[in-house]
Amino acid sequence: MIVYGPEGCGKTRNAEALRKHFGCSNIVDGWTLSQYVVKGSLHLTNETKDDLDIARQHGLSANLIPFGAAMTQMDTAIIARAGLGSTTTEKPSNPKDSVGIRKWRQYATVPATVIAELGVAMLEGAVKYGRHNYRVAGVRASVYVDAAKGHIDQWWEGEDCDPDVPGQRLSHIVKAIASLVVLRDAEIQKMLTDDRPPKANLDRVRLDMQATVEAILDRYPEPKDAFTEIGVRNGQGVTEFRPRIHLTPSEILGLGLQSFHSGGIVSERPTTLVGEK
């Protein structure tokens, strides 16, 4: 038996209960297609359904079941054994878990920290224009694309927070997210003025540029390190500097130099200058 599902979905946490349900003798956790199938064992894997189906066409001999379906099957069997409406202390998981994990509500995947900041960013727009005004007035796509890209570019170029927001503690990244939230909501609500340009041939661009990138990296297999703000702060790129000076015509004659231009010559700093002690 092979139970498959993405990493972190709960396979390992429910492994023992699944093993008992399917009547397997032991558990092979983290199984991959490069390994043999152990007869009578429960195999837990992160491999995708498509890859497993292809492997089965080439001789993989095992029953395949997605983790969500396995949990539903197991919980249904437990409820049936216990009797409708009754309880059991042996139940390894709440039957609602296997159903809830597949619901469209997936709020637990979103970090509350960013949501808190996003709320403040949306508050700024709410007090300036009226909360949810974009659902009534509608929005123009180009305006919010410019806003989002502008905030991202300012952050990328070293400005962490939006200076126009009182307190200057709201990240440009959050302001970009807020712009995209309004843009997407308007699209969902059919309140978007879509002024995007005619559709581009992105497939051609992707293919050409990917080929160019590969050619550049092949020609320069050992690229130089990137210069970064953190690197510069730590002295990246700093080399010993020897100042260059301008010499007057009289100093040129005194040093025995021949080449000069009007106003003096640019030269490496000599050991001793005329008039220098």
Residue 246 DSSP SS3: strand
Per-residue exposure over 225-261, b if at least 16 CB sit within 10 Å of its own CB, e if not: eeeeeeeeeeeeeeeeeeeeeebeeebbeeeeeeebe
Q: Using pLDDT thresholds of 50, 70 and 90, give the confidence band for residue 267.
A: very low
pLDDT at 272: 46
266 closest CA partner among 231, 242, 234, 230: 242
Give just the sign of the alpha carbon dihedral 45, 49, 54, 57: positive
Max CA-CA distance within the chain?
A: 111
pLDDT over threshold 50, residue 48: yes
C-alpha–C-alpha distance, residues 149 and 61, integer Å: 51
d(CA 185, CA 59): 48
Q: How confident is the model over 85-137, as pLDDT tens digits?
A: 444 444 455 555 655 666 777 888 899 999 999 999 999 999 999 999 999 99
80-89, 102-111, 173-182: the lowest-pLDDT one: 80-89
